[in-house]
Amino acid sequence: MDQPNRTKARPMGIDLPIGSDPASVRRRIEAMEQLLESSFALPGVDRRIGLDSLVGLVPVVGDFVTAAMGMWIVWEAKNLGLPKWKLMQMTGNVAFDTAVGSIPVLGDAFDFLFRSNSRNLKMVRRHLDKHYPALRTIDG
């Protein structure tokens, strides 16, 4: 039997649970979404960016690295038991972000605006709020 939060990993100084319970998975997905979409503040602009926008500046390789990280969120969602149609929609979000993001210059601007990982996190949160109401959080 898996015990929730029994051991924690500390990448970048953040405590991340390694359990397979829904609360642990939610915290890992939220941490990955933050890393990919909003981990850095742009000076002089009221907008945050993440690795998806920054690494996407590296032609071809950057987009596929961040796509793999985005697909990790889909994999975690699969382990939570999200329906196949939602997993396909999440995969489509990552694929669309990768395809358009790989276009030089236009793709970099697109990465700044289209946040596939945030969209996917929202889908995971809705699923968890419905099926595990005790894990519900208030977004600020």
* Rounded mean pLDDT, 100-126: 89
More confident residue, 115 or 1: 115
pLDDT at 7 over 80: no
Tell me the residue length of the chain: 140
pLDDT at 12 over 70: no
**96, 89 Cβ separation under 8 angstroms:** no
Enter the DSSP assignment of 62: H
What pLDDT score does 135 carry? 73
**Listed residue (33, 36, 89) closest to 65, CA to CA:** 36
Residue that is written with structure tokens 């969209």 in the block: 119
Beta-bridge partners for 9: 16
Letter string b/e over residues 25-43, b meaning 16 or more CB atoms within 10 A of that residue's CB:
bbbbbbbbbbbbbbbeeee
Domain ranges of the chain: 49-132
Q: pTM for the whole thing?
A: 0.82
